[in-house]
Chains A and B, each alone.
Chain A
Amino acid sequence: MAKQVYCEDVEVGTEITPLAKIATTRMLVQWAGASGDFNPLHYDEDFAKAMGVGAPIVHGALKRAWLGHLMTDWIGEEGKLKKLSCQYRGMDYPRKMKTMQEPHDGEIWWCKGKVTKKYEQGDEHLVECEIWVENGKGEKTTPGSALVALPTRSGK
């Protein structure tokens, strides 16, 4: 686990430690089972074509879960995630599998973010962040935002 980030450590513009992810067809099956989203859009080539997206796409909710992972890693055990939102703006296509475990070479997705606002409310030290998932072409396919409460070094 990364070390605890404190309110005093961040300012507007501070970057959130980026998190790399690789979407694979295998992962999409795993996500379907774990999330209960069995929409064939995410595993059936013909169905995906008929829906107008060309080929099976990465679940928006999986990308949202990646952004949740980005934020909870960054805020650490003492931080509190208060809000998380994102929009599924662009399609992402998973890497296909080369072996049972290993995908073919290809795209890496990066979950990134930066602090946009820092303020106090009541007894909480709040930080707003712009977050996004960026595909291999550098496109932000899943922009969003998060609101977190961070601990302070002084404990106040």
Chain B
Amino acid sequence: MANSSLITDELRKLIGMTLETIVFKVEEGAIQRYAQAIGDPNPIYNDPDFASKTKYGRLLTPPGFTGWPTKAGRLSERLLESLAKAGAPSRLLDGGIEFEFFESVGAGDVLTATTKIADITERETRLGKTMFTTLETTFVNQKGNVALKSRSTFIMF
């Protein structure tokens, strides 16, 4: 059945591979634009004066904010390239994501994000033969603590 599987030997080799490590600073303006795009007026994301008087002392990020510019925790061109080169199907949809939060993330924090390909699986869906790629990203803050982790799934068919 080897010829009917979407997961080529080259794709199989990518499982467990670390894709990239990105270091980025969480910018105040990026947080504000992100909150505005969600339509969330919470002052802890929008108003630096308000935020400076809270116990956090700075703007916090809405859950799921992973920086801008960033390729971490989401589809990166490098991931697509690796998958395409290894013979993955070309049509792609975002399947979903799980976040686990450990420490608050706010303006001025510096995060180091490391993404690895946790798994590649396949099954028949209403899209036909479909491949699922799971990425795990760990975000470590400037204190050396894990601030959050994400696990996202991309659907290719």
Contact = CB atoms under 8 A, between A and B. Distances in A.
B62 interface: yes
The DSSP consensus for interface residues of chain B is: mixed
B83 interface: no
Contact of A88 (B37, B70, B96): B96
Given A52-B91, A72-B63, A37 B74 contact: yes
Interface string A4-16: 0000000000000
Contact of B62 (A53, A68, A77): A68
A112 interface: no
Contacts of A108: none
Nearest to B96: A87
A81 B37 contact: no
B38 A66 contact: yes
Interface residues of A, number: 38
A117 interface: no
B101 A30 contact: no
28 contacts: A21-B39, A27-B39, A31-B38, A34-B37, A35-B37, A36-B69, A36-B74, A51-B92, A51-B93, A59-B94, A60-B93, A60-B97, A61-B74, A61-B97, A65-B64, A66-B38, A68-B38, A68-B64, A69-B39, A69-B40, A72-B42, A72-B62, A72-B63, A77-B54, A84-B99, A85-B96, A85-B98, A85-B99
